[in-house]
Amino acid sequence: MSHMTYCMFLTFRSWFGIWQYCKVYKNFIDTKDNSPAAAYWKWAENGWNDSKAHRFPLGRRAGKPLYSLRNGEKLNYIQARKVIYAPLYAKYIEQTEAYRKLYDLYLTNCCGEAEGQRPMALLDYDGWDHLGQNCCLESVIDMEKPKMGHAFIIAGLLENNLFWLTEPVKSNVEELRKSGRLLKDI
């Protein structure tokens, strides 16, 4: 994937780098006001310029980030999911050939007349049976645990349920997608 611009003059090499390196950890803050210290910006810029995805950029035992940073705004974990993670992944994945093939399979096998419909299961490291636990996608995004993996966003795209958005934006964008428009163009 080519570079993409996300916030104020910064360029990124992968959408996952945006998600991981917008997270600010305790060891990267100025203790006076909890703002990112110079070391954070150096670390983040290195991550944003790395084309390799890093699921745990500080290692598995790094602990939870204090917040995620987007255009100077400090976001908690759930806010960051809705504002950074879900929209960026949705815009990226929707443009791939793999997603187009999956969408065709979904339309062919999961939609249409009731007797021809079959369920589709999406497997993901951080996926779980939300339907079996009586959770809708709108509930999943608001839960800190269990984790919300990529498959939930893919499910939302397939069903044209952009559950990370709020009304009235959600309905407007979903309506535009019905006409075949991609998120990147909306």
The rounded distance, in Å, linking the Cα atoms of 143 and 172 is 25
DSSP one-letter string for 129-184: -TTTTT--HHHHTT-SSS---HHHHHHHHHTT--TTS-TTHHHHHHHHHHTT--GG
Q: Is the pLDDT of residue 5 over 60?
A: no
Q: Which of 75, 93, 120 is the last residue of a domain?
A: 75
Same domain, 117 and 173: yes
Return the number of other C-beta atoms located less than 10 Å from residue 76's C-beta. Answer: 12
Q: 59 and 91 share a domain?
A: no
Number of domains in the chain: 2
Q: Are residues 131 and 104 in the same domain?
A: yes
Residues 17-59 pLDDT 10s = 788 989 999 999 887 888 999 999 999 888 888 877 778 888 7
Calpha distance 150→153 (Å, rounded): 5
CB count in 10 Å sphere of residue 75 = 18
Domain span holding position 161: 83-185
- 57 and 99 both lie in a single domain: no
Torsion of the alpha carbons at 171, 176, 180 and 183, rounded to the nearest 10:
-80
Q: What is the mean pLDDT of residues 143-148?
A: 92
Residues 102, 65 share a domain: no
Q: Are residues 115 and 39 in the same domain?
A: no
User: Do residues 48 and 117 share a domain?
Assistant: no
> For residue 136, how many other CB atoms are within 10 A of its CB?
11
d(CA 24, CA 40) in angstroms, rounded, equals 7
Same domain, 174 and 112: yes
Place 1 in a pLDDT band, splitting at 50, 70 and 90: very low
Dist. CA 148–CA 72, nearest whole Å: 25
Residues 101, 167 share a domain: yes
| Residues 91 and 156 placed together within one structural domain of the fold | yes
Q: Is the same domain home to 159 and 88? A: yes
pLDDT at 143 over 90: yes
| pTM for the model | 0.82
Q: Same structural domain for residues 179 and 87? A: yes
